[in-house]
Amino acid sequence: MSAEENKVAVRRFIDEVFVKGNADAVDKLVTHDFTPHSWGTMPSGAEPLKRATRRVHAGVTDVRMKIEDMIAEDEKVAVRLTAHGTHQGEFMGLPASGKAYTISETHIFHMRDGKIAGHWRDADMLGMMQQLGALPAPKGH
């Protein structure tokens, strides 16, 4: 697949899975041996990703993601985005706070035959936890 075709596939994944929480779309968008490189102990494969998608969207509603930058070369696609959501249910062990958050995220997707085979993510989780009230903000801010 070309770099441009890989970018289209990543945009679709972000929209269907990350934004809409459509776990049923996972099988069409990732390889059977999909590997999450930065999701803690999540095992490889489509099924764990489907479960994680359902779990996140049970706790966070009205997810929006604005792609700020997308760069593709060979089998890699890098994305910098701004993510927004509202904490309406249990999320990462936290009871619903009703609070909204806005954070920056960077993703790298490894592509194989037009599907996502691997994924790395770096997100401002400290900022998210502060915005949700789970951690105090630094003094003076």
Q: What is the pLDDT of residues 9-36, one digit of tens each?
A: 999 999 999 999 999 999 999 999 999 9
* 102 CB-near residues (< 8 Å, 6+ apart): 82, 83, 84, 131
pLDDT tens for 57-94 read 999 999 999 999 999 999 999 999 999 999 999 998 99
**Which CATH number does the domain 3-131 belong to among 3.30.70.20, 3.40.50.300, 3.30.420.40, 3.10.450.50?**
3.10.450.50
Domain locations in the chain?
A: 3-131
- Per the prediction, the chain carries an average pLDDT of 95
Higher pLDDT, 140 or 65: 65
